[in-house]
Amino acid sequence: MKMWSGRFRQPLDPQFERWQRSFDFDRRLLSYELAASGAHARALKNAGVLSADELISILEGLQQIGETAAASKGLVEDDEAEDVHHFVEKQLVARIGDVGYKLHSGRSRNEQIATDLRLYVRAAIDELRKELAEVCGGFTDRAEQAGNAAMPAYTHLQHAEPVLVAHWLLAYVEMFLRDADRLADCRQRLNVCPLGSGAVAGATLPLDRAFLAEELDFAGPTANSIDATSDRDFVLEFVNALSLLGLHLSRWAEGMIIFSSQEFGFVKLPEAYSTGSSAMPQKKNPDLLELVRGKNGRVIGSAMTLMVALKGLPLAYNKDLQETQEPLFDAADSVLGILPLVAGWMKAVEFDHQRMNEAAQSGSMNAWAAATYLVKRGVPSRLAHEQTGKAVRLCVEKQCELQDLTLEELRTVNPAFDESFYDCLKLASVLAIHDVVGGTAPARVRQGIGAARKKIEALREEVNFHAHA
């Protein structure tokens, strides 16, 4: 039996009926549909619509559906079910008889799908934040293991200044922690319950909406039934947050691809996450990194699909909203598939610290330290910058580094240079000069590692709290 067929005399066109079904993709919402249906059944009992025996029968039937679906994927192969809501009703009636039809009293599929999607996104956020904690923990472990190893930092992809490898890795940790915070913000906003909103104007039965919200661990009921049944802001916000997370992952992957090339040689690709060439025997290709970079295109595409689908919809529910589900699922699946692999890659990768250290001492990357030396000797900053630039130009002409210039050559630029200048150009001195909060001085980086671990632990505690709530 269709959930809407009473008004119609003719059956649907078979091709249209197959085409408009959503069960092929919304079946993944089954566990959330069962949970929401259980809460609704209890609210119906409290409102006097169901007897105690009817409630028990419905709850037992819902439990059986969940257990059977978990044990056999064949249960959710149904060519007749329009959607997950229709599927549950069919299964329930098959198990407990016509009393199963009572479950739909006072509710609409419009509020059901709005509720199921909120439950799905909430659970996906908790899983993503759990995975992000593991990724951040892995990056922080590698930062600590790197000790005082240095590498070049780049601006405009040109040599800029030496930094600790640990400092470079912690930059990614900050990105991913912001992503975790954005997901938490999204979770807070979506965590309200549409049940009791009906089709558009509110339930026609005296349902306790606060009770419904509490049953499903929502913070409270939605404030407006029209908005509740048509709102997909939380879906768009979630996928936009995923696209930014994917962007950060893509930036990381691009950096690792560059550094693993022979021209750089800073990173040794782990064989467990790389492939070879079918034509060139010597190749080891960064496939994981390239796919991480490429899959973010899908996530960004999903965000764009959602915006286009939603941009012209009048209030309230429209069937177009069915088209928001597949982009949501695809984006979540894409990122959830990436994060554990990134964590594994980071554990397996090898850094060539010797080569990185050597590169950190080439290309006049101690030039700012040289200018700072002059500033500390009373030379105005702009003049110190100009004079150090002239010294660098001399190095380019002689194909040497600043520390290779003689004192006489330096004094042609500025007489303020003396023998103490050479100590300030040493790698340890250049790193130490950045002794500010958030800087790359070793002591500051050790503080950064400690601060990162505290943030990661707090994230893990939040995730565990939601998991056991």
User: What whole-number distance in Å separates Cα of residue 183 and Cα of residue 170?
Assistant: 20
Active site residue 37: no
- Supply φ then ψ for residue 151, to 5 degrees: -155, 165
Closest to 443 in 3D by CA, of 452, 431, 453 = 431
> Does residue 199 contact residue 285 with C-beta atoms inside 8 Å?
no
Task: Provide DSSP, 49-106.
Answer: SS-HHHHHHHHHHHHHHHHHHHH-GGGG--SS-SSHHHHHHHHHHHHHGGGGGGGGTT
Active site residue 385: no
Task: Provide DSSP, 13-65.
Answer: PHHHHHHH--HHHHGGGHHHHHHHHHHHHHHHHHTTSS-HHHHHHHHHHHHHH
User: What whole-number distance in Å separates Cα of residue 43 and Cα of residue 36?
Assistant: 11
The DSSP letter of residue 221 is B
User: What whole-number distance in Å separates Cα of residue 34 and Cα of residue 15?
Assistant: 29
Closest to 467 in 3D by CA, of 64, 189, 122 = 122
Residue of 5, 72, 261, 277 with catalytic role = 277
Two tokens at 335?
């990122």
- Secondary structure (3-state) at 453: helix
Residue of 156, 278, 420, 468 with catalytic role = 156
Vertex 208: Cα angle to 202 and 214 (nearest 5) = 110
Residues forming the active site:
156, 277
